Amino acid sequence: MNGNGRTATAILWVLGVGACINGVWMLLDAARWFGLIAASTGASNVHLVRDVGAAYLTSGVALVWAARRPALRGPLTAVAAVFLGLHALTHVLEAASGVTSLGHLLEDLPGVHLPALLVCWLAVASLLRPTELH
């Protein structure tokens, strides 16, 4: 495994485990998760929090699997990139339309936008040049 591959693997492990932890938390304690993380977004909907938690857990599993199986990295990171990218885009569109403040985008940078950008980058790089990120 080259240096690029080790870096990609480390990023996948960190983001994958983080997404799994977040997803499990959302599934098991939706009300507390909402109160601590998303209370500023509106009224609580624990069913919706659990639905999003399922998507986070699914993405996290795909990223951990991609870290463990470099030959499958492209398709697995692409699956995670679909959810994470659309989730981040939703946050951008809500800020642009005034549903949330532009400052909310900055608050979301470490937990929503940066992971989405990294996973999208890894997905594209893995699909275009699969051997370089193994």
What confidence tens digit (pLDDT) does each residue in 30-88 have? 999 999 999 988 899 999 999 999 999 999 999 999 999 999 999 999 999 999 999 99
For residue 2, pLDDT beyond 80 = no
What pTM value is reported for the model?
0.92
How many whole angstroms separate alpha carbon 86 and alpha carbon 92? 10
Residue 29 has pLDDT above 60, yes or no: yes
Domain count, the chain: 1
Residue 57: domain span: 3-133
Q: Read out DSSP for 69-120?
A: -GGGHHHHHHHHHHHHHHHHHHHHHHHHTTSS-HHHHHHHIIIIIHHHHHHH
Give mean pLDDT, residues 22-34: 98
Handedness of CA 65, 67, 70, 73 (dihedral sign): positive
Mean pLDDT of all residues belonging to the chain:
94
